[in-house]
């Protein structure tokens, strides 16, 4: 009997896209269900009663929540193809460390870049670039954070890469001059088939970001 795989998601989400990419990297067929986050479906509320957030992966009726938890579940449930995490325990721990860094150090300043203005936005841009430079140092001269392989940390970062253009336009700054090596890896990730098939046009994300910005920055 074939697996039933459903993904509850929201198209511009940098977190939802992680799950989409992971499923496509593994070649898993899934049903995509778009959520209206202002009017959440009964299924989303049932499957994620604690946080009531996307993405939620439903595998044969069982829900898995939180984006990188979903990615790790996908890696383990479909372990026969394209492993996201290295086999070495230390390297696995390091990958999880950097994903935690990404979601604790990038999310807040990224959010403030398109939801604030003036001094608060300027501070957010500095914090964002500072965190990106730390990540660039960890990347080094490797094509991906996973070395030669697109892996766990790359999937986490690709969610943010998909918003780079929107962040730059909302904040009137440029990431590439500050982090050229990281940007080269970002472009490499964004060209992957699994990523191309999971993202909307960047201009659509930019338009969405400015729409949200108008709500926050009256």
State which fold the 5-77 domain adopts. Glutaredoxin (3.40.30)
Residue 99 binned pLDDT confidence (cut-offs 50, 70, 90): very high
What residue ranges do the domains of the chain occupy? 5-77, 89-216
Convert the pLDDT of each residue in 131-157 to its tens digit. Answer: 999 999 999 999 999 999 999 999 999
Predicted confidence at residue 216, as pLDDT, reads: 82
The residue-averaged pLDDT of 188-200 equals 97
Return the structure tokens found at 51: 């946080």
What's the CATH architecture for 89-216? Up-down Bundle (1.20)
Residue 20: CB atoms within 10 A of its CB come to: 23
In angstroms, the CA 196 to CA 103 distance is 22
Residue 71 binned pLDDT confidence (cut-offs 50, 70, 90): very high
- Phi, psi (deg, nearest 5) at residue 51: -100, -25
Global pTM value: 0.95
Do strands 31-34 and 5-9 pair parallel, antiparallel, or not at all (unpaired)? parallel
């Amino acid at each position: 009997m074939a697996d039933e795989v459903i993904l509850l998601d929201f198209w511009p989400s940098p977190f939802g896209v992680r799950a989409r990419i992971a499923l496509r990297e593994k070649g898993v067929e899934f049903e995509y269900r778009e959520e209206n986050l202002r009017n959440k479906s009964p299924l989303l509320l049932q499957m994620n009663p604690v946080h009531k957030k996307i993405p939620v992966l439903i595998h044969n009726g069982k829900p898995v929540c939180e984006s990188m938890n979903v990615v790790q579940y996908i890696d383990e449930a479909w372990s026969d193809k394209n492993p996201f995490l290295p086999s070495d325990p230390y390297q696995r721990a390091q990958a999880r460390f950097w994903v935690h860094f990404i979601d604790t150090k990038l999310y807040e300043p990224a959010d403030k870049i398109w939801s604030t203005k003036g001094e608060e936005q300027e501070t957010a841009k500095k914090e964002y670039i500072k965190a990106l430079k730390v990540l660039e140092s960890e990347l080094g001269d490797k094509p991906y954070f996973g070395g030669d392989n697109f892996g766990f940390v790359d999937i986490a970062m690709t969610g943010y890469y998909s918003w780079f253009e929107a962040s730059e336009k909302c904040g009137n700054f440029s990431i590439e001059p500050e982090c050229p090596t990281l940007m080269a890896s970002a472009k490499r990730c964004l060209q992957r088939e699994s990523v191309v098939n999971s993202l909307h046009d960047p201009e659509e994300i930019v338009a969405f970001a400015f729409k949200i910005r108008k709500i926050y920055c009256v």
